[in-house]
Amino acid sequence: MERIVVPPREGRAARVRRGQRVRVVDLEGAQVGDLFAFVAEDVGEYASAEHTRVAVGRLFPRPGEAFVTNRRRPILRFEADTSPGIHDMLLAACDPTRYRGLGVEGWHASCQENLQTAMASVGQTRVEVPQPINLFMNIPLDAEGGLGFAPAPSRAGDHVELRAELDCIVVVSACPQDLVPINANGITPLAIELLD
């Protein structure tokens, strides 16, 4: 097994072969992980929230179902989840503009920059910034369509396990959001584990 630690506030990319399993582990608990997946041979095709919602008829897939690309091909099959099963696929990755809007002066780490830096590390310097798969992120939805920001309920060691259905590049960002209460323990590391 190969293990890549994603330091707090940073992102990492991993190449994943079709058929290989990838785990995203919340090492210390209550940490959101923004997950992205791009087709290795053409990064213009990537895991797409809006196409996945059509494919599964739900806001988020259940174990056994697949995330699909913007060309409606399964890319990651959601195989297992030891967390309480709370995840989000509605909210954009945080970015410098988001932090400026929250009153931050100067630079603040963001999932968008983490994605771009991680993709550049594997030679991909121009990528779209898709809607992420926000693992462990707790966005309660009320009956009128209102969205809240609540602490991630994941515990230390909780993980999701996905199987690649296409050769892909997976990016995980340990979300640096410290101005809304989604990361309840402070910003902590994640791990990407590549299994056979």
Least Å distance between CB 4 and a second copy?
26
Q: Applying CB under 8 A, which part among 17-25, 31-39, 54-62, 182-190 lies near a second copy?
A: 54-62
Of 98, 179, 99, 84, the residue nearest 135 (C-alpha): 84
Using CB under 8 A, which residues numbered 63 to 82 contact a second copy?
70-72
Of 187, 148, 140, 195, the residue nearest 29 (C-alpha): 187
Of 192, 127, 173, 182, the residue nearest 150 (C-alpha): 182
57 binds a second copy (CB under 8 A): yes
- Coil vs helix vs strand at 39: strand
Among 63, 97, 120, 195, binds a second copy (CB under 8 A): 97
Least Å distance between CB 3 and a second copy?
30
Q: Applying CB under 8 A, which part among 16-24, 30-38, 50-58, 115-123 lies near a second copy?
A: 50-58
128 binds a second copy (CB under 8 A): yes
Q: Applying CB under 8 A, which part among 2-10, 11-19, 92-100, 166-174 lies near a second copy?
A: 92-100
The three-point CA angle 75-78-80 to 5° equals 150
Q: What single-letter amino acid sits at 152?
A: A
Cα(93)–Cα(127) distance, rounded to whole angstroms? 14
50 binds a second copy (CB under 8 A): yes
C-beta neighbour count of 103 within 10 angstroms: 7
17 binds a second copy (CB under 8 A): no
Q: Which residue do the tokens 């909210």 mark?
A: 91
Rule CB under 8 A: which residues touch a second copy?
Answer: 48-51, 53-54, 57-60, 70-72, 90-92, 95, 97-98, 101, 128-129, 131, 141, 144-148
